[in-house]
Amino acid sequence: MTKNSNTSRHIVHSAQQWFLLILLISTATICAYLLDSFVSITSQAMVYVLAVVIASYTLGWVKSVLCAFAAVMALNFFFVSPRFTFQVHGSENFIAFVTMLVVALVINRLATGLRRETEVAHLNERRARRLQDLAIALANANTAHEVLILAQPALDAEFDGPCLLALNTENGELDTSSNVPTAIVDGLRCCMREARVLGPGTERWPGLDAWYLPLGEKGQICGAVCISSVAADDDNGREHARALCTILAQALWRVRLTSSMLAAQGEAQRQQLQAIFLAAISHDLRTPLAVVVGAASSLQMQREKLDLAEQDRLLASIVSEANYLTTVTENTLQLVRLSHASKLISDTSKHDWESMEEIVGAVLARVRERDPGRRIISKVSNNLPLVKVDPVLIAQLLSNLLDNALKYSDDKIDLTVDTVTDGPELQLRLLVEDRGPGIPEEEQLSIFEAYSRLDHNDQASQRGAGLGLAVCRAIALAHEGGLVLHQRAGGGSSFTLSLPVDTVQPQALGDA
Ligand code: ADP
């Protein structure tokens, strides 16, 4: 609101009040004139008293007094003999004037008080509504920054002077920008230390020109607020500022508690994972290790007594058990690593541009050593975009999916790599589909949990630690992608990995 529009509004309001004053006196005079031949001068005076009462109720005290004066003058001029003169008729006129003046002042005082109380009631109602709206908005804030974004405009809208809101850091220090005057920073620190309001109208530092309010109670202070250009007698405003600060402090405290609770939960999960990891080592690694040690020591001690076929069988079991140990160890370590450092790994900007054709080619070359029947049929689209991924992790994800497909199915396995559009975004899609027993719909989410396994009633599939899919999902999430499982039409499982594709591609692989 500009200063000019304020001034013009004030002029219009004042003109309206003068107009009302003139209208009241004129109407009273006309009424008294019309009643002239029917009533006495006392009743005519009452008509003027009525005009004074109305003026006192609606106008300010100066105009009310002027109205009382004008009423006495008009009564005297028009109706008291000698008429149409201002000749004062002794004490009668004086008493009339004093009476009207007292009536005007008393009514004006009562009306002003009533008006002020009404205004305060309306102001309090508006403030209470705004506090409620702020509390509702703050309930959705999840970070201290979001609370600040809501709080600053709310404070600015409530108070005329500039408002400063500062939060304290983890070590209790106030987080203010360097251009905040030292006096204000000192005030904020002082109110936080004392956990009480300082400034005009309070018992502490009443000589200051701003209120300093702490955000929270002693021992739970999250910051402080400075509201400038305030009046000492504005008790209502100060109470409102305190209420606002209480709501902000509650929101900030809730946000802090939630984040420390999540951190504690994360820590608990990490510890749980470590415990599971240890349990896995003792359970899943012991048996294959025992087989390796048994077969190796048989070969070492009794090689001469064993025929060639038996030696080959023992060697094959050592290789198979060692491979199994490698897979389980790889998956377990990867899961622990990913859950420890998911933030670090998910920073895809640190990854290099990679060609999915090359990753898939390398994985197929390795996995096909375990696929003598050449069951995997791959369809890789031409001209696939480059993706920013960790090639080792993506290779591990793909070989886990292909190994599972080989392990849990006997028929052909389809591996498809292509691109799809998801709304405006381009995604690289990798599909592994088999014709195995599939995974029941109710298990399709929980199967991605670590150590989650299904009983397929099939000896070959009894082997496994239940870590492969958990690792796959963790790798997909670490690349901001997704891994979903569907029942394949016609029977079997269908795993889909989708990875985001950067629209800005390097010119050629050499640039990457
Ligand atoms: P593992 O295979 O080592 O047990 P995974 O996490 O890779 O661990 O798989 C978890 C479980 O999901 C497996 O035990 C198996 O029951 C089921 N599963 C995984 N892949 C398939 C598949 N392609 N077809 C059927 N079941 C599967």
- Tens of pLDDT, residue by residue over 184-202, are 999 999 999 999 999 999 9
Helices within 230-389 (DSSP H only): 235-284, 286-302, 308-340, 342-345, 356-367
Query: Which among 285, 334, 413, 439 is the best mutation to test ligand 1's pocket, defined by most ligand atoms within 8 Å of the CB?
Result: 439
Atom 23 of ligand 1: nearest residue by CA position:
405
Q: Is the pLDDT of residue 138 over 80?
A: yes
pLDDT for the residue 103? 80
Q: Is the pLDDT of residue 250 over 80?
A: yes
* Burial readout 410-427 (b: 16 or more C-beta within 10 A, e: otherwise): eeebbbbbebeeeeeeeb
Can you tell me which atom of ligand 1 is nearest the CA of 448?
A: 6
Task: Report the separation in Å between the CA atom of 369 and the middle of ligand 1, taken as the mean of its atom positions.
Answer: 20
Task: Report the separation in Å between the CA atom of 501 and the middle of ligand 1, taken as the mean of its atom positions.
Answer: 28
**Distance between CA atoms of residues 243 and 223, nearest Å:** 15
**Which tokens go with 187?**
């005030």
More reliable by pLDDT, 340 or 9: 9
Give the position of tokens 């890789």. 380
**What average pLDDT does this structure show over 414-424?**
90
Atom 21 of ligand 1: nearest residue by CA position:
404
Atom 12 of ligand 1: nearest residue by CA position:
453
**Distance between CA atoms of residues 426 and 500, nearest Å:** 7
Cα dihedral 264, 269, 271, 272, rounded to 10, equals: 140
pLDDT for the residue 402? 94
Give 296's pLDDT tier (boundaries 50, 70, 90).
very high
Task: Report the separation in Å between the CA atom of 365 and the middle of ligand 1, taken as the mean of its atom positions.
Answer: 22
- What lies within 8 Å, CB to CB, of 427 at 6+ separation is 419, 420, 421, 481, 498, 499, 500, 501
pLDDT for the residue 272? 74
Q: Give CATH for domain 341-511.
A: 3.30.565.10
| CATH class of the structural domain 261-337 | mainly alpha
Can you tell me which atom of ligand 1 is nearest the CA of 495?
A: 23
**Which tokens go with 451?**
């150590």
Q: Rank 381-390, 465-474, 499-508 by mean pLDDT and report only the highest.
A: 381-390
pLDDT for the residue 340? 60
In three state form, how does the secondary structure of 108-160 look? HHHHHHHHHHHHHHHHHHHHHHHHHHHHHHHHCCCCHHHHHHHHHHHHHHHCC
Question: pLDDT digit string (tens) for 142-176?
Answer: 999 999 999 999 999 999 878 999 998 877 788 88
Number of residues in the chain: 512
**What number of other Cβ atoms are within 10 A of residue 467's Cβ?**
27
Atom 3 of ligand 1: nearest residue by CA position:
464
Atom 9 of ligand 1: nearest residue by CA position:
466
Task: Report the separation in Å between the CA atom of 274 and the middle of ligand 1, taken as the mean of its atom positions.
Answer: 22
**Distance between CA atoms of residues 196 and 245, nearest Å:** 11
Q: How far is CA 82 from CA 69, 109, 248, in A?
A: 19, 35, 73
pLDDT for the residue 345? 47
Question: pLDDT digit string (tens) for 204-215?
Answer: 989 998 999 999
Atom 11 of ligand 1: nearest residue by CA position:
453
Task: Report the separation in Å between the CA atom of 330 and the middle of ligand 1, taken as the mean of its atom positions.
Answer: 16
Query: Which among 453, 461, 485, 495 is the best mutation to test ligand 1's pocket, defined by most ligand atoms within 8 Å of the CB?
Result: 453
Give 279's pLDDT tier (boundaries 50, 70, 90).
low
pLDDT for the residue 137? 95
pLDDT for the residue 165? 93
Atom 18 of ligand 1: nearest residue by CA position:
404
Q: Is the pLDDT of residue 497 over 60?
A: yes
Task: Report the separation in Å between the CA atom of 366 and the middle of ligand 1, taken as the mean of its atom positions.
Answer: 20
Residues of the chain by 3-state class (helix, strand, coil), percent to 5:
60, 15, 25
Q: Is the pLDDT of residue 92 over 90?
A: no
Question: pLDDT digit string (tens) for 435-451?
Answer: 999 999 888 888 998 77
Q: Where are the domains of the chain?
A: 2-121, 146-257, 261-337, 341-511
Task: Report the separation in Å between the CA atom of 469 and the middle of ligand 1, taken as the mean of its atom positions.
Answer: 7
Task: Report the separation in Å between the CA atom of 441 and the middle of ligand 1, taken as the mean of its atom positions.
Answer: 14
pLDDT for the residue 512? 44
More reliable by pLDDT, 462 or 61: 61
Can you tell me which atom of ligand 1 is nearest the CA of 327?
A: 3
Helices within 421-487 (DSSP H only): 468-478
Q: Rank 40-44, 79-83, 93-97 by mean pLDDT and report only the highest.
A: 40-44
Atom 14 of ligand 1: nearest residue by CA position:
453
Least confident of 5-19, 96-110, 158-172, 389-403: 96-110
Within 6 A (CB) of ligand 1 lie 400, 404-405, 408, 434, 436-437, 439, 447, 452-454, 456, 464-470, 493
Query: Which among 284, 332, 367, 404 is the best mutation to test ligand 1's pocket, defined by most ligand atoms within 8 Å of the CB?
Result: 404
**What average pLDDT does this structure show over 343-355?**
65
- What lies within 8 Å, CB to CB, of 342 at 6+ separation is 474, 477, 478
Give the position of tokens 């028009």. 78
For residue 486, the surrounding DSSP H or E stretch is: strand 482-487
Q: Give CATH for domain 146-257.
A: 3.30.450.40
**What average pLDDT does this structure show over 89-100?**
70
Q: Is the pLDDT of residue 69 over 90?
A: no
Atom 20 of ligand 1: nearest residue by CA position:
404
Give 258's pLDDT tier (boundaries 50, 70, 90).
very high
**Which tokens go with 230?**
């305030």
pLDDT for the residue 88? 62
pLDDT for the residue 127? 93
**What average pLDDT does this structure show over 326-333?**
78
Mean residue pLDDT across the chain = 86
**What average pLDDT does this structure show over 23-41?**
93
Give 480's pLDDT tier (boundaries 50, 70, 90).
confident
Give 509's pLDDT tier (boundaries 50, 70, 90).
very low
- Its pTM stands at 0.50
Task: Report the separation in Å between the CA atom of 265 and the middle of ligand 1, taken as the mean of its atom positions.
Answer: 28
